[in-house]
Structure 1
Amino acid sequence: MAVCSAELIVVSLLFMSTVFVAADSHTFARSLLPRELGLKEEKLSHLHFYFHDIVSGPNPTAVRVAEAKMTNSSATGFGAVVMIDDPLTEGPETSSKEVGRAQGIYALASQKDTGLLMVQNYVFTEGKYNGSTLSVLGRNAVFSGVRELSIVGGSGLFRFARGYAQAQTHTFDRKTGDTCVEYNVYVFHY
């Protein structure tokens, strides 16, 4: 009887060690410490810039790429999808120094008010953030005073980014539809 239980223990240990070795050599996911990726202290940065959505003229930076059958009869433009490559500048003038581009889409997603679904990347081209991006996702109720959008990620110096962007319309030209929006972005990153 003692031999049988000893054999059972040995067989059980061999089986368990095989399972652990197999699990260890083919892991799907594992936990890491931030320092293992070279991540140091987390920082909070504030970025301030102007977003120029230009829909008029010979070189628009925002173009409608899709719409629903009922979009043109909707008071809010519901169903329209716009692709953007909008300049981000230091000041509100279009001639101000460009610091990056807002690239992505916005869609008119509300039937009751002018509410946009914003899905875009801020691609920075100047200063220490040159080559880094922030990913933005959120609702933009364009006729509200200050709107808040989520920063859901980033790349380069903004790896593991999270935070929010406050948008406030600086100017809106009713004739052309061109808009300048002031952005204050608060982002945690490494």
Structure 2
Amino acid sequence: MTLYLQDRSTGPNATVVPITGIPGQLWSSSNFGTVLCSDNPITEGLDEHSAQIGRAPVISDDPITESIDKNSAEIARGQGIYVTSSLDGANTLVLLSIVFTNREYNGSTLEIQGRSIQLASVREVSVISGTGKFRFARGYATFETVYLDTSIGYSVIRCNVTALHY
């Protein structure tokens, strides 16, 4: 299954924001101890306008769409927490629920947890569980940043999920 997390870190519609960090230091994804919050949509395609099938969270709640186009249909939300967990800022602990919001998977979830190497071109994290259509899910998910515009705080992350479930 391929999903696209639409990630906005600036503006009134930000889906991911830092919520805590080390006092006196910049709170960013590259600084140890920073906890981010997000709500990003998960989409079926690369286009941000493709269908959203869920949402994915830094604390996050990202729309997840069916394509990279930000206007593609939302199929999920990515809701979770990302914690910069290494002193050098290179690794993140990912706790993510993909909450499906459309069609055949509506109300089902996939639970993702593990260490993500921030600067790797492809990051792999475990699928540890699920609900609804994804009960007892086990597997892995890869994340790849396919679009990044730092000037407006916008990125699209392709998530490929491989999981076995009942």
Bin the TM-score by the shorter chain: 0.7 to 0.9
Contact kept, 8 Å, 2:6 with 2:157, in 1: the verdict is yes
Match of 2:64 in 1: 88
Among all aligned residue pairs of Structure 1 and Structure 2, give the percentage whose two residues are the same amino acid.
40
Query: Is it true that 1:132 corresponds to 2:86 in the alignment?
Result: no
Q: Work out the CA distance in 2 between the residues paired with 1:138 and 1:97.
A: 28
Q: Which runs of 5+ in 2 are unaligned?
A: 37-58
Deviation, 1:156, is 0.5
**Superposed CA offset, 1:26-60 (max 9, x none):** xxxxxxxxxxxxxxxxxxxxx11101121111111
Q: Work out the CA distance in 2 between the residues paired with 1:146 and 1:187.
A: 17
1:149 to 94, 119, 125: 125
Q: Work out the CA distance in 2 between the residues paired with 1:80 and 1:61.
A: 16
Match of 1:65 in 2: 19
Q: Which amino acid aligns with 2:76?
A: G
- For normalisation by structure 1, the TM-score amounts to 0.71
Match of 2:4 in 1: 50
Query: Is it true that 1:77 corresponds to 2:31 in the alignment?
Result: yes
Q: How many residues align?
A: 144
SS of 1:128 mapped into structure 2: helix
Runs of 4+ in structure 1 over 4 Å off: none
Structure with a larger share of its residues in helix: 1
Q: Taking structure 1 as reference, are residues 120 and 71 closer, same or farther at Cα in structure 2, changes over 3 Å only?
A: farther
Contact kept, 8 Å, 2:21 with 2:27, in 1: the verdict is no
2:82 to 86, 92, 106: 106
Q: Which amino acid aligns with 1:65?
A: I
Deviation, 1:133, is 0.1
Larger Rg: 1
Contact kept, 8 Å, 2:85 with 2:91, in 1: the verdict is yes
Contact kept, 8 Å, 2:76 with 2:101, in 1: the verdict is yes
Q: Which amino acid aligns with 1:84?
A: S
SS of 1:72 mapped into structure 2: coil
Structure with a larger share of its residues in strand: 2
